């Protein structure tokens, strides 16, 4: 059996976004070219050690490790603006708010410019907040790669531990492909690189074709 590509050593940068339920954005970003790893959790607030049922003032966010030579921060922001669960103009509870947490001054500058352009394009004020990234608290295991975990036999075949659900490259990719994110030809190219067996490749391809264009939200 081919070696499953859990670890990938490509140099990376981080991006952190809040855009509604983190199950959806985990699938959305995970299948993108240049995204190496994803994990979901709680950030943006001051409450110590938040958990799902006691989140305090934190927001559900996705933390993305990406290869800037393949996908830019601007590319990630384009996906961010176009895929909010609750839209960009209505103030909602902090758990699901629109949030960009920047990791350096360059990201801050790009995010602020992007926000102005997006508001101008939509001809309305947007409720998105931009703030410095602070402590990130990983969500409970069952939230990580939620869509992938719905296929328990697949997780078992891939040898996914709770830790790997947050760090595995193949887990990030399949979590998106299974719900219809991405193109079939891209998946076919990825399948060999990811070390997928024929059985897994056939299974994931079928779900990708069945679910393409479907709703990602909870």
By annotation, the residues acting in catalysis are 21
3-state secondary structure 130-193: EEECCCCEECCHHHCCHHHHCCHHHHHHHCCCCCHHHHCHHHHHHHHHCCCCCCHHHHHHHHHH
Between CA 215 and CA 196 the distance in angstroms is 26
User: Would you say how long the chain is, in residues?
Assistant: 218
C-alpha angle 44-146-23 in degrees, rounded to nearest 5: 40
Gap between the Cα atoms of 102 and 162, Å rounded? 27
Distance separating alpha carbons of residues 106 and 42, to the nearest angstrom: 23
94-106 as b/e: b if 16+ CB within 10 A = bbbbbbbbbeeee
Q: DSSP secondary structure string, 80-138? A: HHH--SS-SSS---GGG-EEEEESSHHHHHHHHHHHHHHHHHHTS----EEEE----EE
């Amino acid at each position: 059996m081919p070696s499953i590509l859990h670890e990938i050593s490509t140099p990376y940068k981080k991006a952190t976004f809040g855009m509604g339920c983190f199950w959806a954005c985990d699938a959305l970003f995970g299948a993108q070219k240049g995204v190496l790893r994803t994990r979901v959790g709680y950030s943006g607030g001051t409450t110590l050690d938040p958990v799902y049922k006691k989140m305090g003032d934190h927001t559900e966010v996705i933390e993305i490790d990406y290869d800037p030579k393949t996908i830019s921060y601007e590319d990630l922001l384009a996906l961010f603006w176009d895929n909010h669960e609750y839209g960009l103009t209505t103030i909602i509870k902090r758990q699901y708010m629109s949030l960009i947490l920047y990791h350096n001054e360059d990201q801050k500058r790009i995010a602020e410019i992007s926000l102005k352009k997006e508001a101008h394009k939509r001809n309305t004020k947007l409720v998105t907040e931009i703030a410095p990234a602070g402590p990130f608290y990983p969500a409970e295991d069952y939230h990580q790669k939620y869509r992938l975990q719905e296929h328990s036999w697949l997780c078992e075949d891939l040898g996914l531990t709770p830790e790997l659900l947050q760090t595995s490259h193949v887990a990030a990719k399949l979590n998106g492909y299974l719900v219809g994110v991405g193109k079939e030809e891209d998946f076919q190219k990825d399948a060999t690189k990811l070390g997928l067996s024929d059985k897994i490749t056939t299974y994931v391809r079928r779900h990708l074709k069945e679910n393409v264009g479907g709703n990602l939200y909870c």
